[in-house]
Amino acid sequence: MGTLSTISRQDGDAVLLVCSGSAESESADALHRALETTHTTAVEGSARTVIADLRGLEFAASSCLKVFVSWLQRVQKLETAARYKVVFRSTPQYSWQRRSLGALAAFAGDIVEIRAEASS
């Protein structure tokens, strides 16, 4: 497993965040910064959707999952007109994704969609 890598870019009315490697505990700060940048880009660009492509993310420690929870809380606190949907692209290859993303969807189901797809 490699270290966490993130790439974010705006594409029309969506922002794409691609995470790959392994989000170990020591990656939490880097993940937080990536999600902050993604959130700011989405809000300032009036994005309707953020697509978080996690198909290349082999592992995420609980500390990194907490970073995702904090991000979703920030999205939920936005005014309705500024709120965007978060689509998590996942793969059945990594069983942690089904469990953990399912918990995120249960927490923030009003803004979260999970799409299980083949790995990229």
Q: Which residues contact 22 (CB under 8 A, 6 or more apart)?
A: 1, 2, 3, 4, 57, 58, 59, 60
pLDDT digits (tens, 9 = 90+) for 17-41: 999 999 999 999 999 999 999 999 9
pLDDT digits (tens, 9 = 90+) for 36-95: 999 999 999 999 999 999 999 999 999 999 999 999 999 999 999 999 999 999 999 999
CA 26 to CA 107: how far, in whole Å?
24
Domain count of the chain?
1
The whole domain housing 31 covers 5-116
Which CATH number characterizes residue 31's domain?
Answer: 3.30.750.24
Identify the burial level of 106 via C-beta atoms within 10 angstroms of its C-beta, where 0-12 means exposed, 13-18 middle and 19 or more buried.
Answer: exposed
Please compute the mean of the pLDDT values over residues 102-118 and round it to a whole number.
93
pTM score of the predicted model: 0.94
Q: Which residue has the tokens 């059945």?
A: 92
Q: Which residues contact 73 (CB under 8 A, 6 or more apart)?
A: 108
